[in-house]
Amino acid sequence: MDGFMIAAPETDNEEERLAKLLSYHILDTIPEQQFDDIAELAAHICGSKISLISLVDKHRQWFKAKVGLDAEQTPRDVAFCAHAIHEPELFYIPDATKDQRFFDNPLVTGQPNVLFYAGAPLCTPDGYRVGTLCVIDDHPRELSSEQKESLMRLSRQVSNNLELRLHIREIEESGLLLEAKNEELQQFAYRTSHDLRSPITSSKRLADYLIEDLEASNYGEALRGAQKVKGLMANLEELVGDIVSLVQADVSMNDVEPIDLTELLNDARQRLEFLAVESECEIRVENACLSNVPIERGRISQIVDNLISNGIKYRDVNKADSYVDVKVSNSASTLKIAVEDNGIGIRSEFLEDMFKMFKRDNSEVSGSGLGLAIVKKHVEHMQGSIEYSSSKQGTRFNISLPTDRMGDPV
Amino acid sequence: MTALSVLIVDDNEVDRELLRRDLKKTELDAMIFEVSDGEQALKFFEDCNACDDGYQEGDHPILLFLDINMPVLDGFGFLEKFTELRTQYPIDTCVVIMFTSSEAEADRERALSHEFVADYLVKGEFAVSELREKVLSLV
């Protein structure tokens, strides 16, 4: 025979096919009974010396099960199975020495002397052929039609096992996710009940003493008591507001509609101006004219509010000019919000926890501990991303949000 | 009888205020001091000791109300350091009552494992009469 062996080309859908194979998480795993059994059955039914469950990876074929062969894998370019996955039917080579594609293949001319080969493709439900169940002998031979049919049936069993494996994995993953959500919910229920009840109980008791003070005409004491109740109620109001925001962040807020971001930012600045003035901290807003950005107003508003108020609360009183810079830009279907301050920074050991509910970097700074949890929820719902950096010079948050989720900008 | 010297260690201003009012209502003759974390409480004891040439019993607080969750040095951190401090100063008559919103059994056990921790009060869960009896039984 003239020429040289022909290596199998890549499949037409090679990239997707490989992705599917990887999704099974089966490559390089240890042998498993259900696959070994099928390979044994195939060898037994076909009366062959060798039987393999071969998975065709990018540059190799790897054997999940093997009978009569020691090798773990072979390069893809000499693999019969790399040819077999091009066809939905049985790939059948009764005498490899008489086949142009294989006659001088090192697996034919040397060990294990593949002179006979029959491979049934492993077809996934979505139409990819990720490998084969094959039988091999070291002499030319034939299979009966029953044997061919059985090999095809067994290959479907291998495919089913692969698919089952995927489903089990998905169920396990969603179980873990559920567990984490449940944990979060329990934590939330515990903390909200404690954090809501405690200021109410304290206020009630302060009110009792307030009444006593008033009855005894201790107006000075009464005034102090009343101011404390007011303080508790203000904190409670903030907490309840934040809890509502957090819960709402999980349901859909406003529709995505073109909004005037310049106006939104000015509103935010006005809302927080009292806090800024009281703290001698300047809010500086910089934005190009952003009049028609298609995005959810409520979410953006809460992200901006929380980041600015954190910047103000965690200002550095030792620095002369405290500021919070807000820069917003919109280009290439991405809305970028950068909030930067020259405050005290976030302690490095807190970074890991800062997006968790009720976690606070400094208990002397007032707040519910929900601000960044709210920001994170909103960003996740808008499929955006958060980056941050923090040092003693200050903190910067960069938020990127896709604005093309509902089609092109209006 | 000289006034009972009491130190409240709690970062929550409202909780301190309420305990101060509760103690006042017990009509026990008490001098009440307040600090807002464990570090300040330690310093308070050190200052008591340094304030004059001769150390006299009664100069330092006899009774401590100690919160658990506090910044800087929390209640448990304070208990560790206070154990050490007791070997340096003659303050072994001083007893601690935990004063916290934690209802966790583990916290209760951990606190009461110190022999000088006499009681564990959960904030808002006791009557003034109860407080009076507890204090009287300890001093």
User: Would you call A206 and B71 a contact, using CB atoms and an 8 Å cutoff?
Assistant: no
Total domains present in chain B: 1
Q: Do B71 and A364 touch (CB under 8 A)?
A: yes
CA proximity to A21, closest of A67, A62, A49: A62
Q: Report the residue of chain B nearest A364, measured CA to CA.
A: B71
CB B118 within 8 A of CB B95: yes
A222 to chain B: which residues are within 8 Å by CB? none
Predicted complex ipTM exceeds 0.85: no
| Structural domain for B112, as ranges | 4-138
Phi, psi at residue B49, to the nearest 5°? Answer: -70, -30
Span A253-410: which CATH code? 3.30.565.10
Contact A133, A38 (CB under 8 A): yes
Please tell me the predicted confidence (pLDDT) of residue B67.
93
The residue to which tokens 């490899």 are assigned = A96
Please indicate whether, in this complex, the C-beta atoms of A362 and B13 are within 8 angstroms of each other.
no
Mean pLDDT rounded to a whole number for chain A: 90
For chain A, the domains span 14-171, 253-410
**pLDDT tens column, A274-317:** 888 888 999 998 877 678 888 888 899 999 999 999 999 999 98
How high is the pLDDT of residue A365?
78
The pLDDT of residue A296 is 87
For A199-233, the pLDDT digits (tens) are 898 999 999 999 999 999 999 999 999 999 999 99
**CATH number for the domain harbouring residue B46:** 3.40.50.2300
Instruction: Say yes or no for a CB contact (<8 Å) between A205 and B15.
Output: no
Distance, in angstroms, between A314 CA and closest chain B CA? 16
A14-171 falls under which CATH superfamily? GAF domain (3.30.450.40)
Answer yes or no: do B18 and A209 touch at CB < 8 A: yes
**Residues of chain B neighbouring A202 (CB-CB closer than 8 A):** 14-15, 18, 124
Q: Phi/psi of residue A253, each to 5°?
A: -90, -125
Q: Which residues in chain A have Cβ-Cβ distances shorter than 8 Å to B128?
A: none
Tokens of A331: 């280009």
A35-74 confidence digits (pLDDT tens):
999 999 999 999 999 999 999 999 999 999 999 999 999 9
Check: CB of residue A202 under 8 Å from CB of residue A232.
yes
Mean pLDDT (chain B, rounded):
86
> Of B48, B1, B8, B6, which Cα lies nearest the Cα of B30?
B6
